[in-house]
Amino acid sequence: MDYFSRFANKSVLITGGLGFIGSNLAHRLVELKARVTLLDSMVPDHGGNLHNLDGIQDAVTVNFSDVRDPHALRYLIPNFDFLFNMAGQVSHRDSMEKPLIDLEINVASQLSLLESCRRLNPEIRIVFASTRQFYGRVKHLPVSEEHPISPTDVNGVNKMAAEWYHLIYHNVYGLRTTALRLSNIYGPRQLLRHSRQGFISGFIRLALQGRSIQIYGDGNQLRDLTHVDDVVDAFLRAASAGAVGKVYNVGANQAYRLSEIADTVNEVAGNKSPVEFVPFPEEYKKIDIGDFATDFSKICRELSWFPKMELRPGLGQTINFYRKNLEHYLGPEQ
């Protein structure tokens, strides 16, 4: 499927567009000659970063507003062919500490966005950034889309609701929605200054600073890491395909133990500090999902998507990016 040409001269809106995945998607869409608008509220510590637009800042339009603002949505939504819906609160820890804020950002705002699309632009093509988190503690590996859903935290419940709203708006109103369940994304332009949005950014930050990477537990937990370039490819394929009203897992070719990932990060970064294994804080242990590996055969079969970036070269590319740009991604740790 030649999806590349389908975005040329098309109007594209990316919510959360100054964040990690949204900005990488924007770079790719600019290459594909799309007309790109980025919507971002720049909530502190959620990942929005103007430096993420370095090199394309003159080729995109930035709208500093919030998906929770229905007035902004009514103005924006009618003007676009594609909507890549990345906006959200992704920290599991924050969702437990501030559950009502997580509900507002991840559920209420998503419903408002879908209502705006239904009323003002029912032909828009929507791809939603969902998550594997709401599978919870899994019964078997690898995990397919048919696996039972059992969230372990507030964020998982709310992201699940947001995904289901997207599907309901397809089933009832005919909106052309697709959801991608993402698993442990890494790569350039990821938030580094704290670890509340995933362990891998914390590993990379500590390695670049020459500090010891700390792992909760014995380090045997399995995770698959998907490079952001592969994720961007999945979004573009989903948007250009006719597979609406569906969900797809997006994952990596191989799952690694956390200790293996930490060792590889240290090797690539040249960090000599040893990995440390520390007891699980009780509040984290209660929401940890244990092992996880993704069965992504459905998206391979239906959209011809396959992950291409292997872990070591992907980490090398990522760490080289941060070596050149570290000042723009480090700040006070929280």
What is the spatial distance between Cα 7 and Cα 202, in angstroms, rounded to a whole number? Answer: 34
Q: How confident is the model at residue 197 (pLDDT cuts 50, 70, 90)?
A: low
Least confident of 35-49, 128-142, 145-159: 35-49
Number of domains composing the chain: 1
Considering the entire predicted model, what is its pTM? Answer: 0.94
What percentage of the chain reaches a pLDDT higher than 90?
A: 75
What is the spatial distance between Cα 38 and Cα 49, in angstroms, rounded to a whole number? Answer: 12
Considering Cα of 184, then 185, then 187, then 192, what sign does the dihedral take? negative
299 pLDDT more than 80? yes
Using alpha carbons, select from 191, 179, 176, 156 the residue that is nearest to residue 23: 191
In sequence order, what DSSP letters do the residues of 60-82 get, joined into one string? EEEE---TT-HHHHHHHGGG-SE
pLDDT of residue 60: 98
Q: How confident is the model at residue 194 (pLDDT cuts 50, 70, 90)?
A: low
Backbone phi, psi, residue 293, to 5°? -145, 140
Least confident of 37-41, 167-171, 192-196: 192-196
Task: Flag whether 152 is in a domain.
Answer: yes
Task: Flag whether 127 is in a domain.
Answer: yes
Task: Flag whether 19 is in a domain.
Answer: yes
List the beta bridge partners of residue 31: none
What is the spatial distance between Cα 281 and Cα 237, in angstroms, rounded to a whole number? Answer: 40
Using alpha carbons, select from 116, 316, 291, 134 the residue that is nearest to residue 208: 316
Domain that holds residue 297: 4-189+227-252+293-309
What is the spatial distance between Cα 299 and Cα 302, in angstroms, rounded to a whole number? Answer: 5
Task: Flag whether 147 is in a domain.
Answer: yes
Q: What is the pLDDT of residues 229-246, one digit of tens each?
A: 999 999 999 999 888 999
Residue pair 150/98 in contact by the 8 Å Cβ criterion? no
Task: Flag whether 96 is in a domain.
Answer: yes
Task: Flag whether 285 is in a domain.
Answer: no
Task: Flag whether 102 is in a domain.
Answer: yes
CATH of the domain at 70: 3.40.50.720
Rounded to an integer, the average pLDDT of 223-234 is 97
What is the maximal distance between C-alpha atoms in the chain? 57
* HEC-encoded secondary structure of 142-175: CECCCCCCCCCCHHHHHHHHHHHHHHHHHHHHCC
Task: Flag whether 90 is in a domain.
Answer: yes
Residue pair 222/175 in contact by the 8 Å Cβ criterion? no
pLDDT of residue 245: 97
